[in-house]
Structure 1
Amino acid sequence: MTGQVVDAVADPAGAVATAAAELRAGRPVVLPTDTVYGVAVPADDAAAVGDVFERKGRDGAKPMAVLVADTRQAAGLTDADLDVLVDLWPGPLTVVVNRAAGVELHLGPGAGHLDTVGLRCPDHDLVRALADEVGPLATTSANRSGEPSPPTAAGAAAAVGGNLLVLDGGRCDGIPSTVVDLTVVPARI
């Protein structure tokens, strides 16, 4: 079912079901978020992550962030105290935290040695439902590395190559999330 555009506004449940099938088959999906369009794959699928890096021309040492459905799902990936996020998530905030021991994530060809992970719970019902259905999603903006993030589904799909399922959620605002490193004291933006 690659190369298909699904109207995620008209049929969000159908969009989640279709995207979940693609992700489980190891195929990247272009999706809207509360910030920019992204391209997502299951965070435990090394081959799919590699495909995203190739499509974007992304530096293998730059890890992808992980989208989660909620703080409960995030808590399974880190031992960090996430209570501070209750009033901040969902929203355009990525937090860098220490990865919990034994958590297997594939976030980039050169990122396997990292003990940290960037977690984000977007203020976008469709994306949170998809993460709840499939599990944590490794994601990055749907653009060629170093280029601006397209605000539309068509622009995002063109930027990362065709033959992907595209969830069209309308225009995104184009403002990336704020990244806060919680592994240092005081926290650093």
Structure 2
Amino acid sequence: MLSYLAAALPPDASAEGRLLALQCALRSNTSGQVYLPAGLLRGMRLGRALAPWDELEDARWLLRLPHPTEQTGHRTAAAQLLDAAVLTQEPARHDRHQAADWALCAISRSRLRALPAADRLTALVLTTHHSPNAGRSSMEADHLTRTCGLDQHTLTATLNRLVSVNAVEAWTFELVTEDVSWNSPRQ
């Protein structure tokens, strides 16, 4: 889903917008509607932030629905996803909900909680691309920056902050392959 969003969202979409889009895409129903409880938005550290919603609306990726009804709950944000391709993404809806819960837990870990959204999104991307059997994982730098909505300079600072909080053990940029390689901390 992260790769889909890297292609579907504008390159300048913020990390907050990307995290919101990820939850919306994973939690949407078969009609492309999504209802996000206020607690979930607080857990993502988005709370009452309107900028990510505005950004996704400006990109014509979603449309906020009028204030929720009694049926959906008054403390729920509601939206209609406008990109039909999101509904064709695998896996099935139940598995997408599990992935949404996992992603929320991954970005809410205590070591990441105080970091900016871009750092939390990058940690999530690295975690999803980590191969536990390989020891060291890698990803094309261009793909990583596009998925996280970062430029190369910002990526460097973000990776260094992830090392400082032990979310990543170490990282390198491979000049020949133009890959970013990293070691995840030992559990």
Output the TM-score relative to the length of structure 1.
0.29
Greater relative CO (CA pairs within 8 A, separation 6+)? 1
Higher strand share: 1
Q: Which has the higher Rg, Structure 1 or Structure 2? A: 2
Higher helix share: 2
